[in-house]
Homo-oligomer: A and B are copies of this chain.
């Protein structure tokens, strides 16, 4: 069960979830955003493997359990509002289910200016 002192700080949405921004340690790449309930956060903090609540499948989901694209948890921080986590990980292979390294590289709406 999630540490009550942490649980007391979470500001969950109406589905009982907080957003989790997942960042590669070292490079700083933002890999993906997942969702965690209290139990998923508890597992993430205690097992060292990033674990989410799948909103579409309505089940817990240990990242990489089927794909092999595991996320090894390095640090977890809660934001000032209590509704978003920043999880730094060491990502094996692709973070995105499409096979891309990150979920943000396929669809650029505004490209950075070239210096």
Pairwise interchain contact A103-B81, C-beta atoms closer than 8 A: yes
Contacts of A6 in B (CB 8 A): 109
User: Which residues of A approach B to under 8 Å, CB–CB?
Assistant: 6, 9, 19, 21, 23, 25, 27-30, 32-33, 45, 73-81, 84-86, 88, 96-98, 100, 103-113
Pairwise interchain contact B74-A113, C-beta atoms closer than 8 A: yes
Provide the bound-state CA to CA distance between A96 and B113, in Å. 26
- CB contact between A32 and one of B79, B97, B110 (< 8 Å): that residue: B79
Pairwise interchain contact A96-B75, C-beta atoms closer than 8 A: no
Pairwise interchain contact A112-B21, C-beta atoms closer than 8 A: no
Contacts of A25 in B (CB 8 A): 112
